[in-house]
Each structure stands twice: as C-alpha cells, then as structure tokens.
Amino acid sequence: MILLQETELEAEVPDLDKGGYRRAKLLYRADPLFGHGTRLIEGAKLQPAAEPLGEVVERSGFCPFCADTIDSATAPFPEEISRTGRIIVGNSWVVPNIIAYSAVSAVCVYDVSRHFLSLVDLTRDVIYDALSALTRHAKAAQAVRPELAYSSINANYLPPSGSSLIHPHVQSSLDPVPLGAQRRMIEYSRSHLEAYSRGYFEELVSLEEVSGARFVGWTGPLAWLVPFAPSGFYEAWAVASDHGLISELADDTLYQLATGMSLVMGAYAASGLQSFNFSLMSASPEWRDDGSRLLFRMLARAPLSPYYRSDVTYFERLGQEAMIDYSPEEWAATLRSHFGAGLT
Ligand SMILES: [Zn+2]
C-alpha cells in the first residue's frame, strides 16, 4: 500500500516587521518511490524572476545543429544503424553523440531549421518528430547490441538546466546498466508488487486519480500527475498504463506523450518559466510483469540570468531533498487548466 505521509514542522523565525520571533510552518514529505524528502516552504522566492531571453538565443557564428552545418559538423551513423547514415523525421535529426555519456548515446535536434525554439515552439508535432526519430535509433542500436537493454531519453534546455548548446536538442542513453533513478524505480516496483500483489504505479495512478488534488489528466494511455513530494520545481510525471520500453513504443503512445509534453511546456511558458530538464525512462527490460512502467518526469530550472544562481543547493545534491516553494496541488490545478484547453 502506498502511504503518502507529510509532517508539519514548526519553526521560529525573526519577525522583521514586528520584532521578536514569529512561528512559521513548513511541510515535510517523502517520496516512497525514489526515497527523497521534500520541504514545502512558505514566504520564500527560491527562483529568480525570468528576464527576456534576448540575444543569447540568437545565432552568432558556428552552430553544429543548424541546417546549413549539421551535415558536415556531425558524423553519420554506421550502416548497421542506418543504411543512409542519417535518421531524420520531419525537421528532427538524430546524430551520434561526440561525448560518451553512455555505451550508446545519440543526440536529436528537434528542428534543424530553427536555431532556437521557445517553449511554445516545442509543439506536439515537433516533439513527436524528435521522439519518433530517437526511438527509431534506440531500436536500431539495440538490434545491433542487445545487451544495451536499459534506455532513456533525456533533455536539458538552456544553460541553467545544464545544456551546453543553445540549439534545443534531446539525448538518449542506451546502457547495459540502468540510470540510478531507473534502477530504483524498477527495484521498488518489484518489491511493492511482491508485498502487496499490486503494481506501485497502478496503485499510484488510481490513488491520485481518486483523490484528484495532484491528478492532471490522461493523454491516451498516459496518466499525468504532479508528484506528492516533487524533486524539483514545477515537476510533472506521465505514467504509462502498461509496461513500456522506449524502443517498442507504439506511434500513438509517442504522439500522446508529445501531446502532454507540449501542454506542460505551454504551462511553463504561461508561468514565466524558461528552462527545464526531462527524463523518459524505460520499464524493466528483463521482467515484464514486475509492475515497473515507462515513466516520464519533467521539472523547471532557474531562468537564464547574467548573474545566474543555480536552483540546485546542497539540499538537492547532498541531502537528497528538494526544497520547493509552491504547492504541488496548486501546480496540478494550473496544469489541469492547460490540459483541459489543449485536449478539447
Ligand atoms: Zn543552431
């Protein structure tokens, strides 16, 4: 059984208006799946306000991902991955990663014809083309090297998220070992199923859908929700109804995923957010009835700023605790309004 428990912590802080001290409350929540803690605090503005992106998103000089250079600036795939050397869907190009993040890692440029795509430019069709191209690559790579069974698709967008190139792109990882979060997700799913004879995600989606406060909506077989104990700012999850491997995803599921992703990006844009990370992780490759699921997670990062301060503090990096200054339930309500508008 999933127990979502929170603890109210009472603090005393200096009262700068009236002098002396005043009582302040904060909530502590724990995420059962990943194990981290989250502090929901009040009265702080942890993220700086966004300024217009300005000239940083203008192309100045060489960009390896723009249409005029990508063919010469990137290497073709070997013949066993693509007979033409290229994997292209619409304006999305997948190219081999020049940095070995994983046993096999590819980069997908959402749109080679535009050096920068804002959050609202990342439409359902643009995202679908990129996901479709990356899953095509994952399938080809796993056919050649079946031991690379653990796959994920991940993105940094703009420098505050860790991205080194402005031209928006997505990356994949194919490895014989899972990502840390993927390992935890798979192991926890198995132990939960053994203990309760019901899959963790099946129970989570049903629980959140019934309680409703953090449930956002469905796009096809994907349930969208805000996690009880977010690991970062404005986090949103999509949980697949069935098992789900990236290389085996049906076209329709990819389209439904792209639909939800574009709605979250629209909500980010409307909320004045600029930068994000996302991660789409495959379920367990070797055991298909263990309750693990294809899981998509996305969170916002600090906006671009000349005096940039990262929103990652020691709480996140060393304490494994996220410090959050918004209500997950209010954020779910905001997302719901965007999903409602986008799905009609
Ligand atoms: Zn470019």
Distance 124 CA to ligand 1 centre (A): 20
Distance 111 CA to ligand 1 centre (A): 9
Q: What is the rounded distance in angstroms from the CA atom of residue 282 to the CA atom of residue 294?
A: 5
Task: Report if residue 69 sits inside a domain.
Answer: no
Nearest to 201 by CA among 185, 217, 215: 185
Distance 338 CA to ligand 1 centre (A): 30
**209-224: average pLDDT:** 97
Mean pLDDT (the chain, rounded): 93
Q: Which burial class, exposed, middle or buried, applies to 100 when counting CB atoms under 10 A from its CB (0-12, 13-18, 19+)?
A: exposed
Distance 66 CA to ligand 1 centre (A): 4
Distance 34 CA to ligand 1 centre (A): 36
Please say if the pLDDT value at position 136 is more than 60. yes
Q: Which comes out higher in pLDDT, residue 288 or 136?
A: 136
Distance 165 CA to ligand 1 centre (A): 8
How would residue 129 be classed by pLDDT, with cut points 50, 70 and 90?
very high
Task: Report if residue 180 sits inside a domain.
Answer: yes
Please say if the pLDDT value at position 283 is more than 80. yes
Distance 95 CA to ligand 1 centre (A): 14
Task: Report if residue 323 sits inside a domain.
Answer: yes
Distance 115 CA to ligand 1 centre (A): 4
Distance 64 CA to ligand 1 centre (A): 6
Please say if the pLDDT value at position 344 is more than 60. no
Distance 63 CA to ligand 1 centre (A): 5
Distance 166 CA to ligand 1 centre (A): 7
Identify the domain containing residue 197 by its residue range.
Answer: 74-344
**91-96: average pLDDT:** 98
- Order across the sheet with 295-301: list the strands: 87-89, 92-96, 106-109, 169-175, 150-157, 275-281, 295-301, 233-240, 222-225, 215-219
Percent of the chain beyond pLDDT 70? Answer: 97
Distance 251 CA to ligand 1 centre (A): 28
Per-residue model confidence (pLDDT) at position 315: 73
Distance 112 CA to ligand 1 centre (A): 7
Task: Report if residue 53 sits inside a domain.
Answer: no
Nearest to 221 by CA among 152, 276, 295: 295
Distance 109 CA to ligand 1 centre (A): 9
Distance 61 CA to ligand 1 centre (A): 9
Could you tell me which residues come within 8 angstroms of residue 2 by beta carbon, excluding any fewer than 6 positions away? 32, 192, 200, 203, 204, 207
DSSP 258-301: HHHHHHHHHHHHHTT--EEEEEEE---SS-TTSS---EEEEEEE
Residue 290: which CATH number?
Answer: 3.30.428.10
Distance 238 CA to ligand 1 centre (A): 29
Distance 126 CA to ligand 1 centre (A): 16
Predicted TM-score (pTM) of this structure: 0.93
Per-residue model confidence (pLDDT) at position 64: 97
Please say if the pLDDT value at position 179 is more than 60. yes
Show the tokens assigned to 215.
């449930």
Distance 218 CA to ligand 1 centre (A): 34
**165-173: average pLDDT:** 95
Residue 242: C-alpha distances to residues 151, 248, 256, 281 (Å): 17, 12, 14, 13
Residue 191: C-alpha distances to residues 2, 33, 130, 186 (Å): 12, 11, 34, 9
Distance 312 CA to ligand 1 centre (A): 28
**225-250: average pLDDT:** 95
**208-213: average pLDDT:** 96
Distance 116 CA to ligand 1 centre (A): 7
Distance 58 CA to ligand 1 centre (A): 9
Please say if the pLDDT value at position 105 is more than 60. yes
Please say if the pLDDT value at position 296 is more than 80. yes
Percent of the chain beyond pLDDT 90? Answer: 81
Cβ atoms within 10 Å of 74's Cβ, excluding its own: 19
Task: Report if residue 20 sits inside a domain.
Answer: no
- Give the total number of structural domains in the chain: 1
Identify whether the C-beta of residue 49 lies closer than 8 Å to the C-beta of residue 303.
yes
Distance 119 CA to ligand 1 centre (A): 16
Distance 68 CA to ligand 1 centre (A): 9
Identify whether the C-beta of residue 240 lies closer than 8 Å to the C-beta of residue 293.
yes
Distance 329 CA to ligand 1 centre (A): 38
The helix-helix angle for 251-270 and 328-343 (nearest 10°) equals: 120
Q: What is the rounded distance in angstroms from the CA atom of residue 60 to the CA atom of residue 92?
A: 22
**316-330: average pLDDT:** 81
